[in-house]
A and B are shown apart, each in its own frame.
Chain A
Amino acid sequence: MTAPLLEVDDLHTTFRTPRGAMRAVDGVSLSLAAGETLGIVGESGSGKSVLGRTIMGLITNGPTTEVTGSVRLAGVDVHGVKPAGRRELWGTTVAMVFQDPMTSLNPVKRVGLHLTESLRLHKGLSKGAARERAVELLRQVGIPEPARRAGQYPHELSGGMRQRVVIAMALACDPQLLIADEPTTALDVTVQKQILDLLQSLAERLHMATILVSHDLGTVAGRTDRVAVMYAGRVAESAGTDAVFGTPRHPYSQALIESIPSIESRPHSLLATIEGSPPNMLAPPAGCRFAARCRYAVDRCRVEAPALEPRGAAAGSVVACHFPLTAPLHHQHQEVGA
């Protein structure tokens, strides 16, 4: 068996802030094979973006940041190499699609230049060849009249079109791994599905490994091979996507699934939202981080942190809970007036 494309081992990202150490990512391990897709799901603030950026090396050790543990990407120790070595990975081995297409394109640069500059840098293409390739990429991501669009400025495009440009930009130099950090959160509902479908079909066609980050478990449903559910800087549960939806083993996964609006539910149905709020990561609790909000919590949970272990389930499936759930989940929504 060959080494996986991505191996993250006990990764910690801590920000030194005036109020103390902010442990945004607090011991995450995961691995991804070439061409595989992984969903990372968790509430806002659970450390998904910081994890994605630390995996890529955009966040690394610095005056106010401490990264420990390791990230190996295509055989390169991302946090061990010199900055120039990291930059060689960016665009070519790993690329990122950001959350807000309104802000992730430079307002003073034409759409085409966003693509041609990396083509010229990484692939050494001539001006003309880069322009041709850029138009081709724009066509690939479903932008009509790509040649004309290439000459426009970002503000002349709609949000959905801009996100397509951002995707084209990420694909420009054929990365082996694409990290899409909430690529549809800032978009209209009608456009969200189109963008997710596009990402999925591109990943399959280009045999590109993908990490799809979302605060909404519904987004990754049916789109990724595996899901890692994140809570307060740690992985709560990681398993095949179908397994997580069918038999969630972590109470937090269960709660997340219950909060997905289902198609059958009436417009006025009340979603089961998760009560309470995530722990303060400046001073995380000693035991299980979910204990304060967990309906199954007992005294042991509050003192002893559960390790991320298989606990009897199929290989590749791990959960961080002392009392993993076993029964399949029945979708239940309370309905107003029902």
Chain B
Amino acid sequence: MTRKLALRVGELVLVLLIVSLGVFSLMALLPGDPAVAILGAGQPPEAYADLREQLGLDEPTFSRYLDWLVSAAQGDLGRSVVPPQSEVVDRIVSALPVSLQIAVMGLVMAMLIAVPVAMWSAYHEGGMVDRLISAGTFALLSVPSFLAGLLLIMLVVDGTGWFPRSEWVRLGEGDLLGNLHHAFLPALTVALAELAMFARVLRGDLITTLREDFILAARAKGMPPLRVLFSDALRPSSFSLVTLMGLSLGRLIGSTVIVEYLFSLPGMGSLVVNAANQGDFPMVQGAVLVIAVLYVLINAGIDLSYGYLDPRTRRAHV
């Protein structure tokens, strides 16, 4: 048991190391010379060389990687090279909660819609409503998320004035309602993009589960249909859904750029994109590292949850 746990943690550390190496080498992929990007063109060559030395860019790549890694492990991701040269960590600490909140709220909303929809569909498989729902989710799948966002803005923000469009209210700054008010539409945009896939996958797995003997056995005991659906069918049907959700969460944290732009949210997506445009390599490296580490950790968590979902896999895992 402890050996398996140790193995697993070792595996995780190895993955994280590889991720960090990948993230660090991203800098090489950024277009242009950071010194040129920062100083602008047309400066004397010595100025560029000085800056490179100042940034440590003249040292061997591997030793720079080690330095960066050791500092990162201590929670120091360096400073931005673009004025006002703020601490990378500070910027991430301010952007990450925004992205996390939108992603988590979006996924929760997607679940709240997808689970009942999938259950209804699967329970009445082949019926009128099932076919309508299937067509609906299929249509939704083919709508790009920014389109849903644009439509929401046009219809709800501009049309009714019920929801604010700008001036994000930070979570934890007292005004929880104001925060939720702001987060609602961006989260709904995310939810609309994700829920169709969730609903379709869950519907398919539920249909398979509902054909199992133990469902018939549960019904034969006199359990009411809703109870059978929630207490007998849902859990054994949720593997793909949970996997998909983990992947979505990891992906959404760094890639809600479009939604962030549409709703003027100061999240991770805009942080990375702006930094990349300005050649702010410490910022890009730091932000991408944080996103990648979260992605790996979330999916490790998902792996662990399989043991809860199906006791039969418990021995195989941890």
Interface residues of A, Cβ cutoff 8 Å to B: 56, 58, 63, 87-92, 95-96, 98-100, 103-109, 117-118, 121-122, 153, 155, 166, 169, 172-173
Known: A63-B127, A108-B309. A118 touches B236 (CB 8 A): no
The answer to whether B222 touches A91, judged by C-beta atoms less than 8 angstroms apart, is yes
A119 — nearest CB in chain B belongs to which residue? B221
Residue B311, interface by CB 8 Å: yes
Q: What are 26 inter-chain pairs, A to B, with CB distance below 8 A?
A: A56-B220, A58-B216, A88-B222, A90-B220, A91-B222, A96-B220, A98-B216, A98-B217, A100-B213, A103-B212, A104-B217, A105-B214, A106-B232, A107-B214, A107-B311, A107-B312, A108-B310, A109-B232, A117-B221, A118-B221, A118-B223, A121-B221, A121-B222, A169-B217, A169-B221, A173-B222
* Residue in A63, A91, A99, A173 whose CB lies within 8 Å of B126: A63
Give Cα A155 to B312, complex, Å: 7
B217 touches A166 (CB 8 A): yes
Chain A residues near B311: list those with CB within 8 A.
107-108, 153, 155
Provide the B46-90 mask, 1 if CB < 8 A to any CB of A, else 0. Answer: 000000000000000000000000000000000000000000000
Q: Determine if B218 is an interface residue (Cβ-Cβ < 8 Å).
A: yes
Alpha-carbon distance A108/B213, docked complex (angstroms): 14
The reply to whether A118 and B235 form a contact with Cβ atoms under 8 Å apart is: no
Closest residue of chain B to A94, judged by CB?
A: B220
Chain A residues, Cβ within 8 Å of B218: 106
Q: Which residues of B are found within 8 Å of A153, using beta-carbon distances?
A: 311-312
Bound complex: CA A96 to CA B213 (Å)? 12
In the bound complex, residues from chain B placing their C-beta under 8 Å from that of A87 are 222-224
A25 to chain B, nearest CB (A): 17
Determine which of A88, A99, A106 lies in contact with B214 in the assembled complex, contact meaning CB atoms within 8 Å. Answer: A106
A100, B216: Cα distance in complex, Å: 12
Chain A residues positioned under 8 Å from B213 (CB to CB): 98-100, 103-104
**A166–B218 Cα gap in the complex (Å)?**
11
Contacts A88-B222, A103-B213, A104-B216 aside, 9 further interface pairs with beta carbons under 8 A come to A58-B216, A63-B126, A87-B224, A90-B219, A95-B221, A106-B218, A108-B236, A108-B309, A155-B312
Total number of residue pairs linking A and B with CB closer than 8 Å: 72
B220 with A103: CB separation less than 8 A: no
Closest to B235 in A: A108
The B contact surface, by secondary structure, is helix
A89 and chain B: residue at smallest CB distance:
B222
For B, the interface residue count at a CB cutoff of 8 angstroms equals 22
- CB of B214 within 8 A of CB of A104, answer yes
Interface residues of B in 205-231 (CB under 8 A from A): 212-214, 216-224, 231
Q: Which one of B221, B231, B236, B312 has the highest number of Cβ atoms from chain A below 10 Å of its Cβ?
A: B221
What is B's interface to A at a CB cutoff of 8 Å?
Answer: 126-127, 212-214, 216-224, 231-232, 235-236, 309-312
Please give, as numbers and ranges, the residues of chain A lying within 8 Å of B231 by CB-CB distance.
117
CA gap between A172 and B127 in the complex, in Å: 35
| CB pair A91 B217 closer than 8 Å | no
Complex Cα gap A90–B212 (Å): 18
Distance in Å from the Cβ of B120 to the closest Cβ of chain A? Answer: 15
Q: How far is the CA of A155 from the CA of B311 in the complex (A)?
A: 9
Partner of B222, one of A98, A99, A122, A155: A122
B298 → chain A closest CB, angstroms: 23
Q: Which residues of A contact B127 (CB under 8 A)?
A: 63
In whole angstroms, what is the CA distance A29 to B211 when docked? 29
Q: What is the CB-to-nearest-CB distance from B316 to chain A, in angstroms, rounded to a whole number?
A: 12
Q: Please tell me which one of the listed residues B214, B221, B312 contacts residue A91 in the complex, with CB atoms under 8 A apart.
A: B221
Closest to A93 in B: B222
| Nearest A residue (CB) for B309 | A108
Closest to A109 in B: B232
CB within 8 Å for A90 and B310 given contacts A104-B217, A169-B217? no
Cβ-closest chain B residue relative to A99: B213
User: In whole Å, how far is B141's beta carbon from the nearest beta carbon of chain A?
Assistant: 27
For the complex, what is the distance from the CA of A169 to the CA of B232, rounded to whole Å?
15
How many Å from the CB of A149 to the closest CB on chain B? 14
Flag if A106 contacts B222 (CB, 8 Å).
Answer: no
Closest CB pairs A-B (n = 3)? A90-B222, A91-B222, A103-B213
> Which of A99, A105, A117, A173 is the most central at the interface, judged by chain B CB atoms within 10 Å of its CB?
A117
CA distance A87 to B223 in the complex (A): 7
**With the chains together, A121 CA to B218 CA distance in Å?**
12
Given contacts A63-B126, A98-B213, A100-B213, contact A107 B220 (CB under 8 A): no
Q: Contacts A100-B213, A108-B310; is A90 near B236 (CB within 8 Å)?
A: no
Q: A153-B311, A155-B311, A155-B312 are in contact. Are A105 and B217 (CB under 8 A)?
A: yes
CA distance A266 to B305 in the complex (A): 55
**What's the Cα separation between A89 and B219 when bound, in Å?**
11
Please report the C-alpha to C-alpha distance between residue A87 and residue B217 in the assembled complex, in whole angstroms: 12
Asked if A118 and B217 sit within 8 Å, CB to CB, the answer is: no
How many Å lie between the Cα of A88 and that of B223 in the bound state? Answer: 9
A112 vs B67: C-alpha distance in the bound complex, in angstroms?
56
The interface residues of chain A lying within 8 Å CB-to-CB of B236 are: 106-108
Question: CB-nearest residue of chain A relative to B209?
Answer: A106
Query: In the complex, what's the smallest C-beta–C-beta distance from B202 to chain A, in angstroms?
Result: 16
Residues of B within 8 Å of A173, CB to CB, are 222
The chain A residue sitting closest to B224, CB to CB, is A87
A105 to B218 Cα, complex, angstroms: 9
Q: Which residues of B contact A172 (CB under 8 A)?
A: 221
In angstroms, Cα B235 to Cα A107, docked, is: 10
Taking a contact as CB atoms closer than 8 A, the residue among B221, B235, B312 that contacts A90 in the complex is B221
Chain A residues with CB below 8 A from B214, complex form: 103-107
Enumerate chain A residues within 8 angstroms of B222, measured Cβ to Cβ: 87-92, 118, 121-122, 173
Q: How far does the alpha carbon of A91 sit from the alpha carbon of B218 in the complex, in Å?
A: 10
Complex formed: what's the CA distance from A104 to B309 in Å?
A: 18
